[in-house]
Structure 1
Amino acid sequence: MERERKNSSLHVVMFPFFAFGHISPFVQLSNKLSSHGVHISFFSPQPNVTRIRSMLHPSPSSRIVPLTLPPVPGLPSGLASTSDLTPSQSELLKVALDLMQPQIRQLLSQLKPHFVLFDFAQEWLPKMASDLGIKTVFYSVFIALSTAFLTVPARLPEPGTYPALEQVKNPPPGFPATSVAAVKTFEARDFLYMFKSFHDGPCVYDRVISGLKGSSIILAKTCNQMEAPYIQYVKSQFNKPVLLAGPVVPEGRADKLEGKWADWLGRFEAKSVIYCSFGSETFLNDDQIRELALGLELTGLPFLLVLNFPANADASAELGRALPEGLMERVKGKGVISSGWVEQQKILAHSSVGCYLSHAGFSSVMEGLLNDCQLVLLPQKGDQFLNSKLVSGDLRAGVEVNRRDEDGYFGKEDIKRAVESVMVRVDEEPGKSVRGNHKKWREFVVDKGVQDSFIVDLVKEMEAIARISNT
């Protein structure tokens, strides 16, 4: 049963990095906190405000505070999120962010919030806020496994020296014994990005470690039910309060899918369709698109594949070059490939969709669980690799597509086997146990009382800390 709600005197500033993969989890938490009366001031540059406003629940206790992004050579004016920029331009957002310190200090001095929830890139914020008498909360939008594996002090046993590829493949000293014993070579190579510096600024690892060490509190978007060993390890590494927000499950949509996708999906049996999407900022190369499409064809199941491409790319031309010749004719009436924005939550909620093949972004994983879609995971970068290992390894609630160690190559047969293990051969291992665990974890995330209790407890803990600070 949902706990009784009450108004709170807390005032919290939300200050995510300027990427919607970070902004969205901050918005989701803002919505849950504001429903318990917490006052929210949400910081983001003016160009992001309209989109954020569409995501924030209307509430008298929530407001958006527009920021002015300072000009930086090479950063296009009028653009303020990674979704609108190339990877090299996105690095310049960190330069702009660092230049915003006087602006942020002035706003915090005026607003005087109890807490500032900040992101990985603002390692300068804890000292600034402390000088103003404001508590800082490092809000990690990543699972605890990601923090424990990559961004703890033990990752660099010798300060000032960064790890080599072979070192990054293995967990840091003291890491708990779980299903995650190592990562593949291609995954570790991707993780090396964290130790690279751009534009003479600190690397991601240094920013994260400074933020975690400097903050008053660490807030993790997870819970002990899912990640107890990793949470305990993080606590031991930083020796400060680690609060838990729970998985911050997105709210389901009451309205149903309408239009062409509803008509198309309505032609198929319940739980028979594969929905495949990699989000708005994860892009496959031509070889991956080809093998993925052929693998979906081999399953013999109906599928809806949504592919997106970098800003300014011609989606039609990209698809025309990447898709195998004759594929669209062979799958006509049974398979559709599209690009651009779709109503993903409504599609996943449609009765005919039974499998969700995704990049393993954790919000996407939660949407799949909420809507009772079997999970097939094909991570492409960063924390997605560790999300996939948590879900397929520790939780055993999904299946990861098998890939080659050195370069991450996967073929059509790898796609076919992964999908069939949860959609066709359900009486065999691993399908049977995966489906059973999927059911267990779905019951956990859809339990509104359990999920609401995480936020109730978080508000109480923050109120207690705020009271102590004021005495």
Structure 2
Amino acid sequence: MEMKGNSNDVLHIVMFPFFAFGHISPFVQLSNKLSFHGVKVSFFTASGNASRVKSMLNSAPTTCIVPLTLPQVEGLPPGAESTAELTPITAELLKVALDQMQPQIKSLLSNLKPHFVLFDFAQDWLPKMADELGIKSVYYSVFVALSTAFLTCPARVPQPKNYPSLEDMKKPPPGFPHTSVTSVKTFEAQDFLYIFKSFHGGPTVYDRVLSGLKGCSAILAKTCSQMEGPYIEYVKSQFKKPVFLVGPVVPDPPSGELEERWGNWLNKFESGTVIYSSFGSETFLTDDQIKELALGLEETGLPFFLVLNFPANIDVSAELNRVLPKGFMERVKERGIVHSGWVQQQHILAHSSVGCYVCHAGFSSVIEALVNDCQVVMLPQKGDQFLNAKLVSGDMKAGVEVNRRDEDGYFGKQDIKEAVEMVMMEVDKEPGKFFRENQKKWKEFLLNTDIQCKFIEDLVYEMKAMVKISSN
């Protein structure tokens, strides 16, 4: 807690993400970029997450972790301090815990006296608190601007608490820009209705987000006008306040070497022929989805590396035996790996033999694929992933989405095979050729360090101007 107060010329920012690593990671990546520009960062996270966050943060002398104490909440297991250790239902209790932490947060902010606090969707009470302390609050949206524009803008719920129906959610809100996104499927709209549900008597996700976006001093979006110009303009028109853009926040290349067993296996295959498929550590596919995905990968005839994750305390080998199609492992043993648990994803995507990434369309995953010259096949599972897939396949034309049934999102092995073939086999035909050419353009844009660095420089300049710090 030695980082008290401010010097007049050093920008000091508190980072305060929600307790989920899908949220923590973008805050860490931004912290690392900002620390290179001399910005002082105090990173708030639950004490149980501190060691993992520390391993992700650059060890800059201007960066420190501020551990938070989670209050005891009935139903929240002791020591569970991120969504990774919880079911979706018990994870809702982390929001209850956050709401009870207001006195602790107020005390820390009073002590640290940062210029800004960057906060997440769940801390809707933070702008008012920061304002009382003379601190600027910035709502950092870790989702693409399309997600905010489609789901969480004031036009979506013109009358307070008059939440939309399933049919309403299939269409964009009033005034939405004319783009490739004109509607969503029934199963996607059904998933979006989650944001209008209240758990444990607390505010809905929609109400938290709206309150945070309306109350903050400025909005910061993890995107850029090159990718999302129309949606950014729509968000500006809806909230009428500064919208800063940090760019897509391209991850730094991984350090160290790829594990020998995976390197040796990948080395057996020709350049750009291996399909890597993973859905993140907190996404669990259903039995049917695993079967059809596995069979679809088999039917492509290409080598593949499939990562499947299961909830904690499950016997993984027994589970794989149960859910994988009969005789599958025997049939694909020369060209297929099925693995459960953490792998060096960035290293694998960077390997020359890997040419396609089948993923859940988490935007960070899409960026990792593009910078590593991997074709993108998207099988979104929830929330913003559905909109990411529409942005990437529709507006950016940099990947394909697996075709699915309207009412329930069902897909079969043929749908997987066709999506992969479009980007891997039909390289000289439309639309495969078209996607590949676009993918190359986006790769060049994302790897242009001058462009990516300028996003951060501009952000630092704008934030300094907002609190009247000289940029000299």
TM-score scaled by structure 1? 0.97
Aligned partner letter, 1:66: P
- In structure 1, the residue matched to 2:392 is 391
- In structure 2, the residue matched to 1:380 is 381
Q: Provide closer, same or farther for how the CA distance between residues 80 and 460 of structure 1 changes in structure 2, counting only shifts above 3 A.
A: same
Farther off after superposition, 308-317 or 280-289: 308-317
Cα distance in structure 2, aligned partners of 1:84 and 1:179: 37
- In structure 2, the residue matched to 1:89 is 90
- In structure 1, the residue matched to 2:3 is none
- In structure 2, the residue matched to 1:442 is 443
Aligned partner letter, 2:350: A
Cα distance in structure 1, aligned partners of 2:317 and 2:156: 43
- In structure 1, the residue matched to 2:304 is 303
Aligned partner letter, 1:233: Y
- In structure 2, the residue matched to 1:334 is 335
The CA deviation string for residues 8-48 of structure 1, in whole angstroms up to 9 with x for no partner, is: 61000000000000000000000000110000000011000
User: Displacement of 1:283 after TM fit?
Assistant: 1.1
Q: Provide closer, same or farther for how the CA distance between residues 265 and 224 of structure 1 changes in structure 2, counting only shifts above 3 A.
A: same
The CA deviation string for residues 315-342 of structure 1, in whole angstroms up to 9 with x for no partner, is: 2222121100011111111011110000
- In structure 2, the residue matched to 1:3 is none
User: Displacement of 1:403 after TM fit?
Assistant: 0.3
- In structure 2, the residue matched to 1:294 is 295
For the 8 Å contact 1:83–1:311, the answer to whether it is kept is: no
For the 8 Å contact 1:8–1:38, the answer to whether it is kept is: no
Aligned partner letter, 1:14: M
For the 8 Å contact 1:13–1:113, the answer to whether it is kept is: yes
Aligned partner letter, 1:211: G
Secondary structure, in 3 states, of the residue corresponding to 2:24? Answer: helix
Secondary structure, in 3 states, of the residue corresponding to 2:271? Answer: coil
Aligned partner letter, 1:222: T
- The question of 1:370 aligning with 2:371 is answered yes
The CA deviation string for residues 137-177 of structure 1, in whole angstroms up to 9 with x for no partner, is: 00000000000000000001222211110000100000000
The CA deviation string for residues 397-439 of structure 1, in whole angstroms up to 9 with x for no partner, is: 0000000000000000000000000101111111000000000
- In structure 1, the residue matched to 2:279 is 278
Cα distance in structure 2, aligned partners of 1:255 and 1:48: 23
Aligned partner letter, 2:405: R
Aligned partner letter, 1:391: V
For the 8 Å contact 1:143–1:220, the answer to whether it is kept is: yes
- In structure 2, the residue matched to 1:401 is 402
- Same amino acid, percent of matched pairs: 71
Could you list the runs of 5+ residues in structure 2 that have no partner in the other structure? Answer: 1-7
- The question of 1:152 aligning with 2:153 is answered yes
Aligned partner letter, 2:69: T
User: Displacement of 1:194 after TM fit?
Assistant: 0.3
For the 8 Å contact 1:39–1:61, the answer to whether it is kept is: yes
For the 8 Å contact 2:399–2:435, the answer to whether it is kept is: yes
Cα distance in structure 2, aligned partners of 1:255 and 1:350: 13
User: Displacement of 1:309 after TM fit?
Assistant: 1.2
Cα distance in structure 2, aligned partners of 1:83 and 1:419: 30
For the 8 Å contact 2:120–2:141, the answer to whether it is kept is: yes
Aligned partner letter, 1:172: P
Secondary structure, in 3 states, of the residue corresponding to 2:411? Answer: coil
Cα distance in structure 1, aligned partners of 2:14 and 2:356: 38
Cα distance in structure 2, aligned partners of 1:8 and 1:24: 28
Cα distance in structure 1, aligned partners of 2:469 and 2:171: 41
Cα distance in structure 2, aligned partners of 1:204 and 1:106: 26
For the 8 Å contact 1:16–1:22, the answer to whether it is kept is: yes
- In structure 1, the residue matched to 2:207 is 206
Cα distance in structure 1, aligned partners of 2:386 and 2:75: 31
Secondary structure, in 3 states, of the residue corresponding to 2:179? Answer: coil
User: Displacement of 1:280 after TM fit?
Assistant: 0.4
Cα distance in structure 2, aligned partners of 1:26 and 1:301: 37
For the 8 Å contact 1:392–1:398, the answer to whether it is kept is: yes
The CA deviation string for residues 270-299 of structure 1, in whole angstroms up to 9 with x for no partner, is: 101000000001110000000000000000
Aligned partner letter, 1:323: L
The CA deviation string for residues 340-396 of structure 1, in whole angstroms up to 9 with x for no partner, is: 000000000001000000000011011101111010000000100000000000000
- In structure 2, the residue matched to 1:20 is 21
Cα distance in structure 1, aligned partners of 2:260 and 2:304: 17
For the 8 Å contact 1:86–1:311, the answer to whether it is kept is: no
Could you list the runs of 5+ residues in structure 1 that have no partner in the other structure? Answer: 1-6
- In structure 2, the residue matched to 1:40 is 41
- The question of 1:246 aligning with 2:247 is answered yes
Secondary structure, in 3 states, of the residue corresponding to 2:455? Answer: helix
For the 8 Å contact 1:148–1:175, the answer to whether it is kept is: yes
- In structure 1, the residue matched to 2:423 is 422
For the 8 Å contact 2:14–2:42, the answer to whether it is kept is: yes
- In structure 2, the residue matched to 1:4 is none
Cα distance in structure 1, aligned partners of 2:206 and 2:88: 18
For the 8 Å contact 2:9–2:469, the answer to whether it is kept is: no
Aligned partner letter, 1:40: V
Cα distance in structure 1, aligned partners of 2:340 and 2:9: 43
- Give the CA RMSD over aligned residues: 1.1
Cα distance in structure 2, aligned partners of 1:420 and 1:454: 36
Aligned partner letter, 2:257: K
Cα distance in structure 2, aligned partners of 1:55 and 1:397: 28
User: Displacement of 1:256 after TM fit?
Assistant: 3.3
User: Displacement of 1:64 after TM fit?
Assistant: 0.2
Aligned partner letter, 2:163: Y
Aligned partner letter, 1:33: L
The CA deviation string for residues 88-124 of structure 1, in whole angstroms up to 9 with x for no partner, is: 1100000000000000000000000000000000000
The CA deviation string for residues 38-97 of structure 1, in whole angstroms up to 9 with x for no partner, is: 000000110000100000001001000000000001111111000111111100000000
- Map residues 187-198 of structure 1 onto 2, 5 A cutoff: 187-198=188-199
User: Displacement of 1:468 after TM fit?
Assistant: 7.7
Cα distance in structure 1, aligned partners of 2:159 and 2:132: 31
- Runs of 4+ more than 6 Å apart: none
Cα distance in structure 1, aligned partners of 2:391 and 2:256: 31
The CA deviation string for residues 237-258 of structure 1, in whole angstroms up to 9 with x for no partner, is: 0000001001111111253313
